[in-house]
Amino acid sequence: AEAAVACPDKDPELENWNPGHNKENRIEIRNGRKLLLSSSATVHSIHITDGGKLVIKDNVQPIILRTRHILIENDGELHIGSEMCPYQSSAVIILYGRADDGSQPNPYFGQKYLGVSKGGTLEIHGKKKLSWTFLNKTLHPGGMEEGGYYFERSWGHRGVIVHVIDPKTGAVVHSDRFDTYRAKEESIRLAQYLGRVANGMILSVAVNDEGSRNLDDSARKAMTKLGSKHFLHLGFRHPWSFITVKGNPSSSVEDHIEYQGHKGSAVAKVFKLFKAENGEHFNISSTSEWVQDVEWTEWFEKPDKARSKDMEKLSDFKAAHPDKICRQPIDIQAMTLDGANLTTEVFYKSGHDYRFLCHGKGQTGEGCQNYRVRFLCGRSVKPKLTVTIDTNVNSTVLNLVDDVSSWKPGDRLVVASTDYSMYQAEEFEVLPCRACRPTQVKVAGKATYLHIGEVVDGIDMRAEVGLLSRNIVVMGEMEGRCYEYSSKLCSFFDFDTFGGHIKIGLDFKATHIEGLELKYMGQQTMGHYPIHFHMAGDVDEKGGYNPPTYVKDVSIHHTFSRCVTVHGSNGLLVKDVVGYDALGHCFFTEDGPEERNTFDHCLGLLVKPSTLLPSDRDSRMCKLITEGAYPGYIPKPRQDCSAVSTFWIANPHNNLINCAAAGSEETGFWFVLHHVPTGPSAGMYSPGYSEHMPMGKFSNNRAHSNYRAGMIIDNGVKTTPASAKDKRPILTLISGRYSPHKDADPLKPREPAIIERFIAYKNQDHGAWLRGGDVWLDNCQFADNGIGLTLASGGTFPHDDGSKQEIKNSLFVGESGNLGTETMDNEIWGPGGLDHRGRTLPIGPDFPIRGIQFYDGPINVQNCTFRKFAALDGRHTSALAFRLNNAWQSCPNNNVTDIHFEDVPITSRVFFGEPGPWFNDLDMDGDKTSVFHDVDGSVSEYPGSYLIKEDNWLIKHPDCIDVPDWRGSICSGHFAQMYIQAYKPANLKMKIIKNDYHNHPLYLEGALSKSTHYQQYQPVITLRKGYTIHWDKTAPEELAIWLINFNKNDWIQVGFCYPKGTTFSILSDIHNRLLKKTYKTGTFYRTSQMEKLEHRYPSKGYYYWDEDTGLLFLKLKAQNEKEKFAFCSVKGCERIRIKAVIPKTAGVSDCEAMAYPKYIETPIVEVPMPKKLSSAQLKTKDHLLEVKIETYKKQYFHLKDDFAYIEVDGVRFFLTDEGIQLVVIDGHHGKVVDRVTFKNSILQGIPAQIENYVNNIKD
């Protein structure tokens, strides 16, 4: 009785059912009938309803059920095992049929389905097997280091090396080295050693480096007796390898080659297969060789003379770069000056004149124009000896973290990529292995790629290993090739994509799925996915389901549309699910109202584009599929589409725990926002609800091998149909802003989204791009990403003013010890890291790798470690940097504190950018205003300082310290922002000048396109200073000046340039951005006294119109308190609005020539520079050396007791005579080693004195 309760196929009320094979047989199981399927069958369809029940018998023999569909409803039930009694045998349900075979689709479920409708029960419970785990030892290409014995030597291990191997086990019994180059005694010892080896033992003998000089006849004859034919005549540095069984000379294998000189490779290699006592085979391999290492030269731009008709002459490059290019390069690479790869063809012509041709990829016409090349040159050869004993012949033992004894021979596994390309995931089949431990498994074949199985530089990069096989299978029966059942389908896929699907609808009775394999499931039509909960509402206790609904221990692979879709359903548990090789978003929440679902320990990898939604599509699909768009729509693929993700989360109130996104065409985890619910969920929540919904638990997740990003929080989807106003189709990607608040109410307190223990590595573009609201990261790891982390808020204001983005207690690694695998199709391979070793690169050989990228703000970075960020010649790499080509604001309230650097040269801590590849002209507004606050000096060594771009004179002062390697300066001060909106016209370039540096204006183009109705400018400014603002055309008729990041009583004075004859109307107001309300606070009146600008009353202020210079002066002063991270005051944003009536004949409004020298101010330091940290306080060995130089031009400057001087780390060296002083510093320890003065009177007679002195200084 207990067995009957636990095991559904033991129910005594069941009747045996064996319908046989008849494709016309439409099965109806109803009226309480209970059937036990005990043998394989083929039917047209199965309908289980009205209390009917179908149970699959737990047979010894496999059961295969072929059917077009199975529909379960109205108290119908389908059982395969139970939670208490998992199914132990093999059961396969095959869903067959073509989309165009004429069968009538169900209006709700469609075709090829297993459907659960109202009142239906689906219980599938397969064997308990571990779903996925991690490698615990690195898997090398070819498996050379997996199992058995590995021996490798080079210089320092000269002579004849012997290994004695037990033929019963393949184990090395003994080994020795005989330096027969050095002494004849070694030759005698070798002969004696070989004589003592017992017959039947295996001998592996080889030469490393040189072994012939003192090799006597006794050793030569002893080796000949063993079966060698070449050892008798072994010559100087000859590579030689030999394997034999002692006492059986005919078993010998041998290879020998003569030495090819110091530039020539030479290899002698042998291998032999043996059978051990236990029946397993093992392979012994021995390689003796001279290896030529190679290295790339630096990049060279094409010399002017290099062109010879349609070919380039190597001799011209050599002449332009003497002693830097080898005589005969092994390979040549070419690249445009902006970083695009080119193709080179190398050949000889006209005797020894070495030439090559360069052309664009895929083109054979006209050669390249502006490009650069580098040459692969060989070094001198070095010896190498390798002996391997592979006990896993054509097989590999995987060492894993967890007990995998549940994985059995015949099971299929997938090992994830641990490089940038998701296509390095590899499948294996499990083999029997009597010697394997519980955490080991033997698989057929060898790995093609490197798969990391360890923590590298502090980052857990262990490859995920997923189980694909289960004993219960639901699969689609597929055609051999693609056919068109949906528009343009076969333009994108050459295989059949009309698979099966499982769909669970509203008011189902019970659904629990575990231990199931799904393959060839999903269709390229909406609503047909491997597992699909469709508008099912609450599926946990809240919805009356006890036990709650779950999908556990499921393997979903080679799917044609997603993995698990949660649509209009809440509270579902998706746990221990592997999704592999899927089209479209893999783990997918659809409309926006899906909440409280938990994805726990799920693995998704190899996620490819699909045709279904704009966000699923790649660029080609985006251009060709325009259904739903308004006529005239022109797709922008990287904006509208190109977002396919492993986890696509349409509502932040879901839980993701212990999950891995191990390779997607675009992104690992993407939180996207639906301003209103879409599809059949329309109307389920009020507008803006999901944008303010607090995030569920996001903990211990990892993302790697993705192209766009490991994780994104940003963007929304278009929730309205296409129209003439917005031609894009519905669900196209659009902008969106996330700002979590309690109860999703923006008027209630903020509730930060917490991201804990997130790991992102080997993502080509971003480790994570997170836009908020309060988004806080803690204890995270980033490595080998193009850009580790970007925290964004808004280009003008944070969408949720007062919030901040934060990361703390986290680790960033620029270029780790995971070098990846060099392959023929991997174009992005080049030098990197501190050792310049070859490695896979994220984007291009000169792409500026960054740890944290500052963008928008405010941002807080606290207690983070940066490791292995090192710039190379031609490539800027830095721990901290800024977004490239940035038109938007940069917040002076971006704070860093308690920063640690390990293996990061001080020159690579920060980089502000310079014109060139990737940075372009570095001329956009945000590029010019970059800034962050070094709170404790852990970056700059000056606590409380600000790091700014070196040429931003709006915030520099005389004591700022330039750091040329950073293209930045270290400054002190109090800073804020002016946000200026200019109307009528909106296409002006603005020039702003600080009065104490009038020769260094800052030009701002504006962040918006020229077609908008206003333009905006947002410079960072020094408080308590005077400025003037000018325009490249006639001044705008209207200006709105917002005081951003001003604390109460902070002020600046600004003169705005206008044409003579202009009249003004000026008022102040407060704008509440949250409530979208504006309150007038005062009016400004004209005064004839500049001093009166100081007098400001709550409702009254003054402006000064200097018509002679054309400057309208205002004192901009904040009247209200503000929160720490807020851009605006607690009452709202304080603004001054200017309306100007400008004469129609007015010209360009540039008053600089009239304003100065009248309004020049003397540069002074308002906030003293902080004291530099002492040596004892520094956390790294390298440190900044402060050098200050002050010169004088006056002939008798010393009469005023002022002297020219050079100051090195606070010590001044004065120059009291007319002339030039040189101070020489040791660049290693920073100490002054010499000081010399050259008087003018001497230099006039012997001008070469300085040159001679400098030439004698040591390098």
The verdict on residue 647 lying in a domain is no
Mean pLDDT for all residues in the chain: 93
pLDDT digits (tens, 9 = 90+) for 796-824: 888 899 999 999 999 999 999 999 998 76
For residues 155 and 190, state if they share a domain: yes
β-bridge partners, 958 = none
The verdict on residue 714 lying in a domain is no
Mean pLDDT of 78-98: 98
Q: How much is the pTM?
A: 0.87
For residues 956 and 980, state if they share a domain: no
User: With b meaning 16 or more CB within 10 Å and e meaning fewer, what string describes 962-993?
Assistant: ebebbbbbbbbbbbbbbbbbbeebbbbebbbb
* 898 has pLDDT over 80: yes
pLDDT of residue 347: 40
The verdict on residue 612 lying in a domain is no
pLDDT digits (tens, 9 = 90+) for 1018-1048: 999 999 999 999 999 999 999 999 999 999 9
Backbone angles phi, psi at 480, to 5 degrees: -75, -20
Mean pLDDT of 738-766: 97
* 1 has pLDDT over 50: no
CA distance 1073 to 1053: 25
DSSP state of 664: B
pLDDT of residue 368: 64
For residues 287 and 192, state if they share a domain: yes
β-bridge partners, 1043 = 978
For residues 459 and 491, state if they share a domain: no
pLDDT digits (tens, 9 = 90+) for 905-927: 999 999 999 999 999 999 999 99
DSSP state of 322: T
pLDDT digits (tens, 9 = 90+) for 639-650: 999 999 999 999
CA distance 750 to 761: 30
Residues 6+ apart with CB under 8 A from 319: 303, 305
* 373 has pLDDT over 90: no
* 633 has pLDDT over 90: yes
Residue that the structure tokens 């490089």 belong to: 419
Number of residues that this document lists for the chain: 1259
Number of domains in the chain: 7
Q: Of 373, 380, 379, 378, nearest to 355 (Cα)? A: 373
Q: How far is CA 716 from the centre of its chain?
A: 21
For residues 1028 and 1107, state if they share a domain: yes
| Per-residue pLDDT band at 464 (split at 50, 70, 90) | very high
For residues 1093 and 1001, state if they share a domain: yes
Backbone angles phi, psi at 597, to 5 degrees: -80, 145
Tell me which residue range forms the domain holding 1218. Answer: 1185-1255
Backbone angles phi, psi at 537, to 5 degrees: 70, -145
For residue 1186, with 0-12 CB atoms within 10 Å meaning exposed, 13-18 middle and 19 or more buried, which class applies?
A: middle
CA distance 625 to 612: 10
CB neighbourhood size of 493 (10 A): 16
The verdict on residue 391 lying in a domain is no
SS3 string of 45-68? Answer: EEEECCCCEEEECCCCCCEEEEEC
pLDDT of residue 1200: 56
The verdict on residue 598 lying in a domain is no
Share of the chain above pLDDT 90, in %: 82
* 380 has pLDDT over 90: no
| Per-residue pLDDT band at 461 (split at 50, 70, 90) | very high
For residues 878 and 917, state if they share a domain: yes
For residues 210 and 281, state if they share a domain: yes
The verdict on residue 440 lying in a domain is yes
Q: Are 80 and 91 in contact (CB under 8 A)?
A: yes
pLDDT digits (tens, 9 = 90+) for 159-180: 999 999 999 989 999 999 999 9
Residues 6+ apart with CB under 8 A from 1010: 986, 987
Q: Are 613 and 648 in contact (CB under 8 A)?
A: no
CA distance 93 to 88: 16
* 1197 has pLDDT over 80: no
The verdict on residue 1208 lying in a domain is yes
CA distance 859 to 1209: 32
Q: Which of 37-41, 283-287, 843-847, 861-865 has the lowest mean pLDDT?
A: 843-847
β-bridge partners, 807 = 777, 861
Question: Higher model confidence: residue 741 or residue 292?
Answer: 741
The verdict on residue 858 lying in a domain is yes
Q: In the listed set 436, 467, 498, which residue is the last one of a domain according to the structure?
A: 467
pLDDT digits (tens, 9 = 90+) for 342-372: 444 444 333 445 666 666 544 444 556 667 8
Q: Are 801 and 741 in contact (CB under 8 A)?
A: no
Q: In the listed set 562, 583, 604, which residue is the last one of a domain according to the structure?
A: 583
CA distance 799 to 803: 9
For residues 979 and 963, state if they share a domain: no
- Hey, what long-range contacts does 844-847 have (CB within 8 A, 24 or more apart)? 844/339, 845/335, 845/339, 845/874, 845/875, 846/339, 846/874, 846/875, 846/917, 846/918, 847/339, 847/786, 847/875, 847/918
DSSP assignment string, 812-852 = EESS-S------TT---EEEETTTTEEEE-SS-TT---EEE
β-bridge partners, 412 = 429
- Mapped onto helix, strand or coil, the DSSP state of residue 938 is coil
For residues 953 and 879, state if they share a domain: yes
Cα angle for residues 672, 677, 681 (degrees, 5° grid): 130
CA distance 149 to 169: 12
pLDDT of residue 1063: 97
CA distance 841 to 837: 11
Q: In the listed set 344, 369, 394, which residue is the last one of a domain according to the structure?
A: 369
For residues 856 and 804, state if they share a domain: yes
β-bridge partners, 1136 = 1041, 1068
Backbone angles phi, psi at 225, to 5 degrees: -65, -30
Mean pLDDT of 404-419: 98
For residues 463 and 477, state if they share a domain: no
CA–CA distances in Å: residue 812 to residues 83, 859, 1204:
44, 17, 44
CB neighbourhood size of 497 (10 A): 27
